[in-house]
Amino acid sequence: MPSLSTGTLDDVGPGSLLVAMPALSDPNFAGTVVYVLDHNDSGTLGVVLGRPSQVEIRDVLPGWCDLAVEPGVFHVGGPCETDTALCLAACSGDGARLAGLRQVAGDVYLVDLDTDPDDLESGADGAIAGLRVFAGYAGWSPGQLAGEIAEGAWACVPGTPGDVLSDLPGPELWRAVLGRQRGRLAVLATAPADPSAN
């Protein structure tokens, strides 16, 4: 059977999405969409999208809750360092001029949570359209992701700021991302994200 994966390791980069293919059975990643934050010779880092937790942002990082999009909870970013918080924001204008922001790709920025959130809220050079806070992240050592893509575990597709801030739960986001692709990947959008649910 031909592989359903699309793209190669060359397509992986900041701002791209790794979409779990039905053959991927690891419970940490089955039926997920991962937003890639960094990809280099040291490995790949990203966050799983669409997995809200029960932990309210206001209970842990009260200053940031007003900038967070709904639901105002931490999202489970992956199995690595789950006690670490990563924050992504979508900005209109030139967010790079705002202190505490580092561009990932396009209008998506990594937010330094040690920055005063009021500085971002009132910044004239760019406006925060919203942000999402993740507990933990997904990480691959050098060569690991290449092997998984070669095995057909992941498809790599372009991402958007809307994916990062989407309020769709994981399986619906998975379907929506596949639904905007072409060919065999679009057909997968009609299948269950988790093949065990079939």
Paired tokens of 185 = 């990947």
- On whether residue 103 sits in a domain, the answer given is no
pTM reported for the whole predicted model:
0.89
- On whether residue 123 sits in a domain, the answer given is no
Count of domains forming the chain: 1
The mean predicted confidence, pLDDT, of the chain is: 86
Paired tokens of 125 = 């050079």
What CATH number should be reported for the domain holding residue 18?
Answer: 3.40.1740.10
Backbone angles phi, psi at 99, to 5 degrees: -65, 140
Range of the domain at 34: 9-82+132-197
Q: Is 3 a residue whose pLDDT tops 80?
A: no
- On whether residue 67 sits in a domain, the answer given is yes
- On whether residue 87 sits in a domain, the answer given is no
Distance CA 81, CA 103 (A): 22
Q: Which distant-in-sequence residues (6+ apart) come within 8 Å of 53 by Cβ? A: 73, 74, 75, 76, 135
- On whether residue 101 sits in a domain, the answer given is no
Over the stretch 100-122, which tens digit does the pLDDT of each residue have? 889 999 999 999 999 888 877 65
Confidence of residue 125 (pLDDT cuts 50, 70, 90): low
Confidence of residue 4 (pLDDT cuts 50, 70, 90): very low
Q: Is 189 a residue whose pLDDT tops 90?
A: no
- On whether residue 108 sits in a domain, the answer given is no
Paired tokens of 113 = 């949570």
Over the stretch 159-176, which tens digit does the pLDDT of each residue have? 999 999 999 999 999 999
